[in-house]
Chains A and B, each alone.
Chain A
C-alpha cells in the first residue's frame, strides 16, 4: 500500500511520540533519581533531569540495605528480589505444568463428568485471587503456610486461563497424529511428552512470559500473607521503603530498587519476545 499523506503521517508520528514520552519519561525520571543523593532530590525543585554521581552508592544501599545518611535503616532489596524471583518462577512453571496436564486430561481422556470438570475450571476464570482472598487466606493460614514460599505460590498456581489456552491448542492438533502415535505404540504420557509438549513449545513460552510478570507483580496476596521481612517480595518492599516514620525517605534507594525490580520482567520479555510473538500468532502444525 502506498500512501502519501504528510499530515496524517505527521499526526500518527506525533501520537506515537507522545505515547513513548508518556511511558518513557517516568522511567527516565526513576533512573535519574536513583543516581542522585536523597538530599539532592529533595532540595532541588524541580528535581535534576541529568544523571548525578551517586549511582554506585544508591544501588549498593538498595541491594544490600543498611544505615542511611539520615540515620534510618533500609532493608536489603537483594533478598526481596530473590523472593520475587523464586515466587514468580514457581508460579509460572507451576501454572504451566498444571494447566498442560489438566488440558491434556480434558481433551484426550473420556472420563465421567468431563464436560462438567472443564466448565468448573472455566468458571474459576471469574474468581481471581482478589475475589476469594479471605477464604484463601483462611485456608492457607490453617494449613500453617503463612510466611512460606508454598503459601505465596500455591494459591496462585491453578489457572483457568492457561488451561483454556492449552485446551484450545490441543483441539487443533489433528486426530491422525494421536492415532499415528497409538499405532507407533506410544502410551498417553509418551504421546504427551514426545508430541504434544514439543508442539506446544511456543505457547508455553508465551504463557511463561505472561505468568512470570503476573507472579512478579503480585502485591495484594503477599501483603496479606507475609509478616516476616525475609519473605517480602520486592514489589511490596518498595512500598514499605516509603513508610519510614523516623527518618526521611531515601528516594534514591527507592528508585534504585524500582529500577532493579523492573529488570527481571523486562529481561524475560526481551529474551523471549521472539517465542512470545510466535506463540501468540502462529500455530505450527
Chain B
C-alpha cells in the first residue's frame, strides 16, 4: 500500500514546433488507501495521466512518486502497480488461471503460492468455476472480473483502472461498481480510477479529480465538487442535467442576462460581468414572490420519480427538475421560480473561477 504524489506533471507528444501539450502541470497528493476517480470529457488527458502513473507513457516533466519512491524511470513491472484495462487485455490463448498467474510466474513466485493466490482471488470474484476456461468462452462481465483478478493476485500497492466499466451494459455496470467498492473496502489498496461517467465518479470516489483540457479543474470529495464547483467547467460537467449557467451583468440585487433583468435574493458578490449558476434541482418551482423569476415551459420529460422541465428564461434555456408527484406543467405555461441565495453559484466570466 502506498500514497501517490503527482508533482507538476507535464506531458507533451512530439517535439519542436509540432509538439502537442496534453497535460499542463498536475499536482496532487493521493493518500494511502484512498480511492480517487479521475473524471473528465474525452481528450482531457485523464487516461494519459493514469498511463504515466502506470509507466506506459513517458513523463515529459514533473515527478511521480509511489509510496515515497520516485518512479519516473522505473518499468511498469517495477512500480508495484496493477492495471485493469478498458478492453480487459486478457491473453486470448491462456486459461483464466494462467491469465491471472502469468505475472506471478514471471516474478518466479513458487507454484503452490501462485495457486493459493489465484484461488483466493477467484473466490473473492466468484471465478472458481471458470478457472479452466479461455477468455473467449466468458461473458463481458466475467472477463472484466478476470481482469480484476489479474490485478488482485499481484498484491500491488496501487490499483489503476482505465475505464473498466465502459464495455459493460448498464445493469452490469451498476453491479460491478458496487463490487469494486466492496473490493476496495476489503483490500484497502490505493486506487486510481479513470472514467468519463460522472455517476461512476460520484459513487466510487472518496475524492475525485475533475480534468479538462489537460488541467486539473478541481480535486475534492464528491460532495465538495457538487456543492462548491471551483470553475464553470466543473459546474457544467458534474450534475445531470447540468447546472444552468447564465452569463450577464450583475449590479447589486439585479442581474441582467439575455435581455432579462432577474431579481437576486441577495446582492451579487461583485458588480460587472459574471456567470450565475443554479442547479435544476435547486430551483423552487412555482414559489411566487415579487422577486420570482418568470419561466416559460418548453418541453417536459417525465422520468417517474421526477420531471425535467425545459424552459425559456428570456432568450436563455433553463432546466428545472421537479418532483414527479407535482402536476405536469403545460408547454407555453408561465411559471414563477423562487431562488434561494445559498443555492446560487457565481463565477468570473473571464477566468471561469468561482467567485462565491
Q: Which residues of A contact B (CB under 8 A)?
A: 174, 176-177, 179-186, 190, 194-195, 198-199, 201, 284-285
Q: Does B352 contact A (CB under 8 A)?
A: no
List 11 A–B pairs whose Cβ atoms lie within 8 Å, in order of A's numbering.
A174-B87, A176-B86, A176-B87, A176-B88, A179-B56, A179-B83, A180-B83, A184-B103, A184-B106, A185-B75, A186-B102
Known A-B contacts A198-B93, A284-B92; the reply to A183 vs B54 at CB < 8 A is: yes
Q: Tell me if A199 and B93 are in contact (CB < 8 A).
A: yes
One digit per residue, 1 when the CB lies within 8 angstroms of any chain A CB and 0 when it does not, for chain B 40-73 equals 0000000000000011100000000000000000
Q: Does B23 contact A (CB under 8 A)?
A: no
Q: Tell me if A180 and B77 are in contact (CB < 8 A).
A: no
Find the A residue at minimum CB distance from B101.
A184
Q: Which residues of B contact A (CB under 8 A)?
A: 54-56, 75-78, 81-83, 85-93, 102-103, 106-107, 136, 150
Known A-B contacts A195-B91, A284-B92; the reply to A180 vs B85 at CB < 8 A is: yes
Q: Tell me if B77 and A184 are in contact (CB < 8 A).
A: yes
Known A-B contacts A174-B89, A176-B87, A177-B91; the reply to A182 vs B56 at CB < 8 A is: yes
Q: Tell me if B83 and A183 are in contact (CB < 8 A).
A: yes
| CB-defined contacts of B88 to chain A, threshold 8 Å | 176
* Alpha-carbon distance A176/B91, docked complex (angstroms): 10
Q: Tell me if B77 and A183 are in contact (CB < 8 A).
A: yes
| CB-defined contacts of A185 to chain B, threshold 8 Å | 75, 77-78, 103, 106-107
Q: How far is the CB of B102 from chain A (nearest CB, A)?
A: 5
* Alpha-carbon distance A195/B107, docked complex (angstroms): 16
| CB-defined contacts of A183 to chain B, threshold 8 Å | 54-56, 76-77, 81-83, 103
Q: Tell me if A176 and B77 are in contact (CB < 8 A).
A: no
| CB-defined contacts of A182 to chain B, threshold 8 Å | 55-56, 75-77
* Alpha-carbon distance A285/B136, docked complex (angstroms): 9
| CB-defined contacts of A181 to chain B, threshold 8 Å | 91, 102
* Alpha-carbon distance A194/B77, docked complex (angstroms): 17
* Alpha-carbon distance A190/B106, docked complex (angstroms): 9
Find the A residue at minimum CB distance from B108.
A185
Q: Tell me if B92 and A186 are in contact (CB < 8 A).
A: no
Find the A residue at minimum CB distance from B103.
A184
| CB-defined contacts of A174 to chain B, threshold 8 Å | 87, 89
Q: How far is the CB of B121 from chain A (nearest CB, A)?
A: 15
Q: How far is the CB of A133 from chain B (nearest CB, A)?
A: 41
* Alpha-carbon distance A158/B78, docked complex (angstroms): 38
Q: Tell me if A285 and B102 are in contact (CB < 8 A).
A: no
Find the B residue at minimum CB distance from A201.
B93
* Alpha-carbon distance A181/B93, docked complex (angstroms): 14
| CB-defined contacts of A180 to chain B, threshold 8 Å | 83, 85, 89-91, 150
Find the A residue at minimum CB distance from B102.
A184
Q: How far is the CB of B90 from chain A (nearest CB, A)?
A: 8
* Alpha-carbon distance A64/B81, docked complex (angstroms): 66
Find the B residue at minimum CB distance from A199.
B93
| CB-defined contacts of B55 to chain A, threshold 8 Å | 182-183
Q: Tell me if B85 and A176 are in contact (CB < 8 A).
A: yes
| CB-defined contacts of B77 to chain A, threshold 8 Å | 182-186
| CB-defined contacts of B82 to chain A, threshold 8 Å | 183
Apart from the given pairs A183-B81, A186-B102, 8 other A-B contacts in the complex at a CB distance below 8 Å: A176-B85, A176-B89, A179-B83, A180-B83, A182-B76, A195-B91, A199-B93, A201-B93
* Alpha-carbon distance A176/B150, docked complex (angstroms): 14
Q: Which of A177, A201, A284 contacts B89 (CB 8 A)?
A: A177
Q: Tell me if B106 and A186 are in contact (CB < 8 A).
A: yes
| CB-defined contacts of A177 to chain B, threshold 8 Å | 89, 91
| CB-defined contacts of A198 to chain B, threshold 8 Å | 93
| CB-defined contacts of B86 to chain A, threshold 8 Å | 176
| CB-defined contacts of A199 to chain B, threshold 8 Å | 92-93
| CB-defined contacts of B54 to chain A, threshold 8 Å | 179, 183
Q: Tell me if A179 and B89 are in contact (CB < 8 A).
A: yes
* Alpha-carbon distance A183/B154, docked complex (angstroms): 10
Q: How far is the CB of A166 from chain B (nearest CB, A)?
A: 16
